[in-house]
Amino acid sequence: MDELKRLIELLASALEDLEKLRAAVDAFRQIDPADIERLRKAAKTLPPRLDEGHAAIGAKLEEATEIAKRLADQGAPQPGPGNAGVGVMATDLAKGFRSVIQTLQNELGQGDLGDVGTIIKSMDVELKGLVVVADQQPTIVPPTPDQPIDPGQLSTVRMSFASVPLQRTIDRDKPPG
């Protein structure tokens, strides 16, 4: 499950990096064309920032692809009551999604002054799987592509997560840029 958690973290981080790049491009587009000095400064700083962002996203997606390939190659056993150990504990699943939201919130305050912050206000997750109770703990065993399963056996698990936006403080003594 550690690889699955890492995969989720990588994808969430890559998404956040992409949003930062979009925000930087949007900020560049909003510069008044008459403000030549500001345009020049932004034109010098934007390309390296985009290059770094693209490189970071590429590296994260590359690692995520490798993890996804390893997970796909492992092949999960057929879901069923005897295979409860191959499932995901419901609490671990909820904690994983909570971790994604917390990571996004924590990184929101790490940007430069003037960066646009983006946060997920809420996230709804719907998952189909076989719910197996072992040792009084519900476990969700997802179906696998290579093992046919009766759709009537699957349960739909719905989870809703919400976050509280954090207010960023502005250091008025520090000039932007």
pLDDT score for 118: 59
Residue 173 to residues 3, 113, 116, 164, Cα–Cα distance (Å): 43, 11, 19, 28
**Enclosing domain of residue 143:** 2-162
Which portions of the chain are predicted below pLDDT 70?
Answer: 1, 74-86, 90, 104-121, 143, 161-177
Concatenating the DSSP letter of every residue in 122-170 gives EEEEEEEEEEEEETTEEEEE---TTS---GGG-EEEEEEEE--PPPPP-
pLDDT score for 170: 63
Question: How does DSSP classify residue 60?
Answer: H
pLDDT score for 78: 41
pLDDT score for 120: 63
**Is 176 part of any domain?**
no
**Is 116 part of any domain?**
yes
pTM of the model: 0.42
**Is 169 part of any domain?**
no
pLDDT score for 76: 42
pLDDT score for 111: 59
**Is 177 part of any domain?**
no
**Is 65 part of any domain?**
yes
pLDDT score for 169: 64
**Is 175 part of any domain?**
no
**Is 127 part of any domain?**
yes
**Is 136 part of any domain?**
yes
Overall number of domains in the chain: 1
